[in-house]
Structure 1
Amino acid sequence: MDKVDSIVIVGGGTAGWLTAGVIAARHQGRRPHGFSVTLVESPNVPIIGVGEGTWPTLRSTLRKIGVSETDFFRECDAAFKQGARFNRWTTGEADEGYYHPLMLPQGFARLNLVPHWLENGDESFCDAVTPQGRICDQGLAPKTIATPEYEGLANYAYHLDAGKFSKFLTKHCVEKLGVRHVLADVSEVVQAPNGDVACVKTADGQAIDGDLFIDCTGFKALLIEEAMKVPFRDCNDVLFCDTALAVQVPYADPSDPVASHTISTAQSAGWIWDIGLPTRRGVGHVFSSSHVDADHAERELRDYIGPAARDLTVRRIPIRSGHRETFWKGNVVAVGLAAGFLEPLEASAIVLIELSAKMIAEQLPPNRDVMDVIARRFNDTTAYRWGRIIDFLKLHYTLTKRTDTDFWRDNTRAETIPDRLQGLMELWKYQTPWLHDEFDRAEEVFPAASYQYVLYGMGYRTDVPPGDVAAERELAQRVRRENDALTARLLAGLPGHRDLLSKISQHAMMPV
């Protein structure tokens, strides 16, 4: 049987190197027996480098591939991310907003606090069930310098410089994990009689053979589209944003506070992201060119930034919302932008890379005979994940009460809302999402808690029978007191975000 021992990844960047690291780390024991991971990367293709937000899953991914969290912070201009704040999404008023934090509601496994919050409604849902919104409001970090690497007093992900992250991963994968790095342009993809990719040829005359090829060539999709002819499935009838304007904004003073959450501020036909790194802010405007022209969108972006935007160059990036109809065909798997892309509203790009790389590494076919079986499982799981992410992103738009522009009005039209999401929203009129209700698959990216934060942050109301609240009122009061006590303890004990970043740079965190 044709053993699968040679993995060839075409394309670098975050997708290529993260995938290489996950696979190489998982199969280190096979290296002496002929197993290899090769990454072929063009020296002439720049990294897009816009997606600077991650999910908490990256902590376990970096830990598993053997990365020091201190080194990661120092070399990738990284900062902590504790969630996202959405401003002006519900009504459009300047002072309106809510948090989607990364901590679960207090006592989430024991009790659904939503019905009890709906009964009282004396504070925001986020503040009623978790300390994290207040932590972000006060500019605090999710841990102290004494907290060991990858552990936190509050749940966290990262903001990072994607270009520096790619270089950091390159060095680690080559030096620590034995990944072979070929720096060359691919000039030809050679296919076998059965349609598989046999090898890729480079412009400098190399022929690189492999048993499994992973396409990380970005929007070009050199293997999955050009060679394997897998079509792309657009979802621009659901998610309208098709262009991004991105800019890097320096701090007025090097000691300025660094936000420990992503800030998403709704505009006339899209939204602006604002991500704080230790040395700069990454700011960008995602918008629908069908509803507003680029000049107007750029004016909104520059108005948001203020006087500091005067001399800054804005980069325009097209967005093709959607994904491949098939992600694994023959012996080719698409990961990253080659698989698809959605607007970065909930930082889903890197987590999809992680999940794909993890599944490939864990279910790596031992031989070609069983590859198609594993490919079908991979395709089913990955298609489900993309569908649920589309649902979740659309939820933010569907819940809006804004009617000030065609963009917001069009987003609430029933024909633009996926059927599954429509069904869930009908259900949520009478039953709140919680634990495994409609979220019972291991492939879920966003748990029920995420839906709770968005739904009730945006003013959604669920008609809960009074008896359901009365039966657990005492437990709910106890859980609320636990949250109040935890909030007070964390607000008193956590350092400022920039203060902790400075200490990590100077002194390092405790190793695991």
Structure 2
Amino acid sequence: MNSRRIRKAVILGGGAEGWMTAAHLGKALQGTVDLTVLESPHDTAPPIASGVGTLPHLHRCFFDPLGINEDEWMRECGAGFKTAVRFVNWRTEGPGSAEPRQLPTGSSDHFYHSTGLLPDCEGLPLSHYWFKRKHEGRTQDPFDYACFREPPLLDAKLAPRWLDGRAATRYAWHLDAALLADYLRRFTTAKHDTHVVVGELAGADRDEHGRLTALRTTEGHVLDADLFIDCSGYEGALINGVLAEPFEDLSGELLCDRAVVARIPHNDRAEGVDPYTSAVAVPSGWAWKIPLRGSFSTGHVHHSSLTTEDEARAELSTLWGLDAERTAFDTLDLRVGRTRRTWVDNVIAVGRSAGSLGPLQSTGSHFLVAALHRLVTHFPDRDFDPALADSYNRETDEIFADSRDFVQAHLAFAPRTDTAFWRAGKERELPAGLRRKADAYRAALPVNPVATDEAAYYGSHGNAEAELHNIWTDGHYYSVLAGLGTEPRTALPVLAHRPESVAAADQLFTAIERQQRNLLDTLPTAYDCLRNLYEG
């Protein structure tokens, strides 16, 4: 056995991020490391709006390795289904409205960014065949409704699986982050004998090389360890505080540094349950709606230089018909950007302490799960080989930059220019990576040409790692850019030379329509499926 192996690790921060980290490491390291979570008393206080959306890899890449059944963790976390993000009124100007306005073409100003898989036809994503049909006047169907099975099911508020638990399509989840943290705390302390210390960080001890040796709390605890994992959230208490690693602020580029949030009662039986997250454009930003059991979490996302908190509260109240005087609002200061190096010496930042792009598109869930897998594959011994940290930081940079491009595309390509917020989204210079992707898209080339078939998601562990590394594939960019009304200049030229492939794609479009009709006739509503899950 390696005498230099890591024997003790301290995770700073409880909450969902800290306990997900503890659970994953406890299982992956097979009990060989003594894990302690330093949890602040504030970590156990549930926030006013604790609803979060995830991406589809959460179960396969996190819960499944822990041996936790999907139905079990869903019930424990108050979870529901998320089969898409529904974007409303990102193309039309006007006041905030939960209902889509009408586009000049007569169609509805909404589109779905589905969690379903974009089909592939003879080596090309179906998106390219769709645009050829549209460019030639052979279809008026929107991209999402033509290429994915899910949109009509979402309109009808149907579940993505049958009552017996069989999946009809690929889906993610909505859940209560406070319940998730509580569940994983109980699971991890019982299953992996993880220690818990409740206290406030007062300082850290360092050796002659600058590495941390122990954390000290205001209550007098001294927690020594070989490795320290910073899950302190936006504070970045170890990585940015103790080690003073610089943080790159991107809130100006992404127009996101604050959210006014609330949790609103909802009659699930009478109104049904949305199997999607809503992202509704409002004059001074955008608002999310995340369905939870008997309520929904909502937040008005904006930039403090352009909008006051009072204005955000007023817009959020108007959007959902709330009494602004009686509704309990809270304000979240969002630290948007990235820590320059997320692994420094023997400290590794995981979650929001490493970086955040705000609440759009569940990037926080993606960053966290990807970081946990990356941490295990790069796990050091007490020599802390610099090559491990360099590789870890390089992969972190790549994932963050790719996700930043995708998030920024929403604001850069939304046609709205009616307010300072929406005009500002067009004034920022696009990052080089996004410029290259936009140029490829306009030329009808694949944006991120990676495998889109189901084997890439449900096959070997290696494919799971590939999914975590680069999830913003061609289908995702097409969903957003086409949904916002931006289209390539022309059809992909090579398709003029592939009539057999075009004919095969026509058959695939017909098959999708047939599958949509069949699923509309057979799937339960999201409400009925969740009632069956929770009540039996």
- Provide TM-score, normalisation by structure 1: 0.92
Deviation at 1:503, TM superposition (A): 0.5
- Report the AA paired with residue 314 of structure 2: R
Query: 2:456 maps to which residue?
Result: none
Query: 2:495 maps to which residue?
Result: 468
Query: 2:346 maps to which residue?
Result: 331
- State the SS of the aligned residue for 2:64: helix
Deviation at 1:337, TM superposition (A): 1.8
Query: 2:439 maps to which residue?
Result: 426
> Is 1:433–1:451's contact at 8 Å kept on the other side of the alignment?
no
Work out the CA distance in 2 between the residues paired with 1:86 and 1:7: 42
- State the SS of the aligned residue for 2:120: coil
Work out the CA distance in 2 between the residues paired with 1:481 and 1:193: 69
Query: 1:279 maps to which residue?
Result: 294
Identity of aligned residues (%): 28
Deviation at 1:356, TM superposition (A): 0.7
- State the SS of the aligned residue for 1:147: coil
> Is 2:441–2:447's contact at 8 Å kept on the other side of the alignment?
no
Work out the CA distance in 1 between the residues paired with 2:70 and 2:219: 37
The 10-residue stretch of structure 1 (290-299 or 14-23) with the greater mean CA deviation from structure 2: 290-299
Query: 2:458 maps to which residue?
Result: none
- Report the AA paired with residue 102 of structure 1: T
Query: 1:137 maps to which residue?
Result: 155
> Is 1:116–1:469's contact at 8 Å kept on the other side of the alignment?
no
- Report the AA paired with residue 445 of structure 1: I
Deviation at 1:238, TM superposition (A): 1.3
The reply to whether residue 234 of structure 1 matches residue 232 of structure 2 is no
- State the SS of the aligned residue for 2:383: helix
Deviation at 1:433, TM superposition (A): 2.2
- Report the AA paired with residue 266 of structure 2: Y
- State the SS of the aligned residue for 2:78: coil
How far does the alpha carbon of each residue in 1:138-190 deviate from its partner, in whole angstroms, 9 at most, with x for none? 10011012125xxx211111101111111011111111222222222222211
Query: 1:55 maps to which residue?
Result: 55
The 1:417–1:476 alpha-carbon spacing in structure 2 relative to 1, beyond 3 Å, is same
Work out the CA distance in 1 between the residues paired with 2:295 and 2:376: 35
The 10-residue stretch of structure 1 (467-476 or 439-448) with the greater mean CA deviation from structure 2: 439-448
> Is 2:269–2:527's contact at 8 Å kept on the other side of the alignment?
no
The reply to whether residue 369 of structure 1 matches residue 383 of structure 2 is yes
The reply to whether residue 408 of structure 1 matches residue 422 of structure 2 is yes
How far does the alpha carbon of each residue in 1:419-466 deviate from its partner, in whole angstroms, 9 at most, with x for none? 221222122211232562799994213222111111111122211245
Work out the CA distance in 2 between the residues paired with 1:374 and 1:109: 39
Deviation at 1:256, TM superposition (A): 2.9
Deviation at 1:274, TM superposition (A): 0.7
How far does the alpha carbon of each residue in 1:270-324 deviate from its partner, in whole angstroms, 9 at most, with x for none? 1010111122110110012222222222111000110466521111111221010
- Report the AA paired with residue 369 of structure 1: D
Deviation at 1:232, TM superposition (A): 0.5
> Is 2:260–2:329's contact at 8 Å kept on the other side of the alignment?
yes
> Is 2:263–2:296's contact at 8 Å kept on the other side of the alignment?
yes
> Is 1:107–1:479's contact at 8 Å kept on the other side of the alignment?
no
- State the SS of the aligned residue for 1:190: strand
Q: List gaps (5 residues or longer) in structure 2.
A: 95-100, 103-108, 135-139, 453-462
Match of 1:267 among 275, 279, 282: 282
> Is 2:267–2:294's contact at 8 Å kept on the other side of the alignment?
no
Deviation at 1:258, TM superposition (A): 0.9
Q: List gaps (5 residues or longer) in structure 1.
A: 508-512
The 1:470–1:90 alpha-carbon spacing in structure 2 relative to 1, beyond 3 Å, is farther
Equivalent residues in 2 for 1:332-371, closer than 5 Å:
332-365=347-380, 367-371=381-385
The 1:5–1:250 alpha-carbon spacing in structure 2 relative to 1, beyond 3 Å, is same
- State the SS of the aligned residue for 1:259: coil
- Provide TM-score, normalisation by structure 2: 0.88
- State the SS of the aligned residue for 2:53: coil
Work out the CA distance in 2 between the residues paired with 1:14 and 1:258: 24
- Report the AA paired with residue 468 of structure 1: L
The 1:480–1:17 alpha-carbon spacing in structure 2 relative to 1, beyond 3 Å, is same
Deviation at 1:54, TM superposition (A): 0.6
- Report the AA paired with residue 116 of structure 1: Y
- Report the AA paired with residue 20 of structure 1: A
Deviation at 1:492, TM superposition (A): 1.5
> Is 2:6–2:382's contact at 8 Å kept on the other side of the alignment?
yes
Deviation at 1:108, TM superposition (A): 5.9
> Is 1:84–1:101's contact at 8 Å kept on the other side of the alignment?
yes
Work out the CA distance in 2 between the residues paired with 1:98 and 1:342: 22
- State the SS of the aligned residue for 2:85: strand
> Is 1:198–1:210's contact at 8 Å kept on the other side of the alignment?
yes
- State the SS of the aligned residue for 1:170: helix
- Report the AA paired with residue 129 of structure 1: C
- State the SS of the aligned residue for 2:274: coil
Query: 1:510 maps to which residue?
Result: none
